[in-house]
Each structure stands twice: as C-alpha cells, then as structure tokens.
Copies of this chain bind each other. A is one copy, B any other.
Amino acid sequence: MTRRERLRAETTREITAIALAQLAEDGPGAISLRGIAREMGMTPRAIYSYFATRDELITALTGGIATDLADTLEAARDAVPTADTGGRLLAWALATRAWALANPQGFRLFFGDPVPGYQPPEDGPVERASRRICGGLTRLVADAWPLAGRHQPADVSWSDFPPAFFARLQDEDGAEIPPAAAALALRVWGRMHGLVALEIHGHIGAVVHDPAALYRTDMLDLIGSLGLTPPD
C-alpha cells in the first residue's frame, strides 16, 4: 500500500463518514457534495476524484448500509441455536425493527426511494445485501417448512420465480427448498416489514404508545402460525 493509496482510502472514508452524518441528520435528500467539501475544507470539485457523481456516492452509502443491515440480521439469527427456528425467526424480526429504529434514514434509503431519478446498479453491494436478506429469510422459513408447510397452498412451482432466485437458493449445500416455502418466505418478509415501515414513517407512533409490544405480538403470532413454538 503506497502512501498515495493510504491517503486516498482515508479521504474516501472521510467523505462517506460526512455523507452518512448528513444522511442521519436530515435524510437522503440532504446529502450534498458541496456540503461535504465545505466540511472538509476542499473545493467541491475535488470530491469527483473519489466519486464520479453524486449518485455514485449514494450508491456506495446505500451499499454500506445494506451490508450493515444484512450483517446485523445474520448475527442476530446466529446468536440463537440452529435448532430453534422459531427463536431465529423472532431474532431476525426484532433485529429488523431495532436496526430500523437505530438507522431510520438508512432504512428509508435502502427500502424507500433514495433520491429522485436515481436508479441503483444491477449488481453492486446493494443487490448483494438484498439477496442475503431475502435468501436468509427464505432459508429460515425453509427450516420451518416441515411444520409450516402443512397449511400452505401447494400450487406453487419454481416457474413462478426468476431462475436466478431459484439458483441462488439451491446451490447452498444440500437442502432442497420447496417453491411454496419461498413464496411463504416472501409473505413473511412482507409481514416483518410492514409494521416497521409504518412506524419509521410515523404512522404508528401517533396511534399507539408501545409499537415494540405490538410488533412483538405480531411476530409471535406469525411464528405460531408457522407451527413453531416461540422460544420460552
């Protein structure tokens, strides 16, 4: 690592740090190249040596944030014994909400609309994190399938999904995942997401005092409906 590379890495880190602060403070729309440059004592144009455009900066931020979320969810899941699928699902869900409350603007950036006219690239860290989240949840639901599958509709086939999604799930070692389990997993995802999204955007706080309890109740109900016993 040459001196130049070290400096470059350091500056890049400083730029993203300031941008993250702007994001956390005033939301995605407040991320400003000129603001960052001002805070760093640089010419606005100097940032362009590190990010070719503002959207590229935002893409990098989103990637980091999404990766952080995926890490958090996987860590929460893995803190619960493999055998306790219900507990792992609950941990996943509660970690989702906790992360969202800790990073509300990051939640908006990743799950909502980042910035007008912005289109994320097809295969960056954002996509990869998205796949980790979707795939991780699907595998959890697949673990619950022996019980959860009993009351699920059987008319689902892998042709209902894009081939890439299928491939991604199956090439993990061994276990076959039934297509109906994948469909169920997406519905579970939606259910875990809904209340959190409403809360983050201020639609729940005005109407109930303890959103945490509400969410927990719903997640316990969800786990029960999958035929799993919630952990103690």
Interface set of A (CB-CB < 8 Å, partner B): 26-30, 108, 111-113, 115-117, 130, 134, 153, 160-162, 165, 182-183, 186-187, 189-198, 201, 203-204, 206-210, 214-215, 217-218, 221, 225
17 A-B residue pairings within 8 Å (CB atoms)? A26-B117, A27-B116, A27-B117, A29-B115, A29-B117, A111-B198, A111-B203, A160-B209, A161-B208, A161-B209, A189-B195, A189-B198, A190-B191, A191-B191, A193-B195, A193-B197, A221-B225
Shortest distance from the beta carbon of A25 to any chain B beta carbon, whole Å: 10
A194's partner among B29, B134, B197, B225 (CB-CB below 8 A) is B197
Interface centre among A28, A183, A186 (most CB of B within 10 A): A186
State the Cβ distance, A177 to closest chain B Cβ, in Å.
Answer: 13
Instruction: List residues of chain B with CB within 8 A of the CB of A225.
Output: 221, 225
A187 vs B93: C-alpha distance in the bound complex, in angstroms?
Answer: 14
Cα distance A182–B108 in the bound complex, in angstroms: 27
Q: How many copies does the complex hold?
A: 2
Closest Cβ of chain B to A63, distance in Å, is 15
What residues on B are CB-neighbors of A190 within 8 Å?
191, 194-198, 204, 215, 218
Query: From residue A208, how far is it (CB to closest CB) to chain B in Å?
Result: 6
- Contact A186-B207, Cβ < 8 Å, known A29-B116, A153-B217, A194-B195: yes
* CA–CA, A122 and B107, complex, Å: 24
How far, in whole Å, are A225 and B130 apart by their CA atoms in the complex? 30
Pair B183/A208 contact, Cβ less than 8 Å: yes
Across-interface contacts of A210 in B (CB, < 8 A)? 160
Q: Which residues of B contact A214 (CB under 8 A)?
A: 183, 186-187
Task: Decide if A130 touches B203 in the complex (CB within 8 Å).
Answer: yes
A27 proximity list for chain B (CB < 8 A): 113, 116-117
Q: Which of A28, A116, A165 has the most CB of B within 10 A?
A: A116
Assembled-state Cα–Cα distance A134/B116 (Å): 29
* Set B117, B191, B195, B207: member contacting A162, Cβ < 8 A: B207
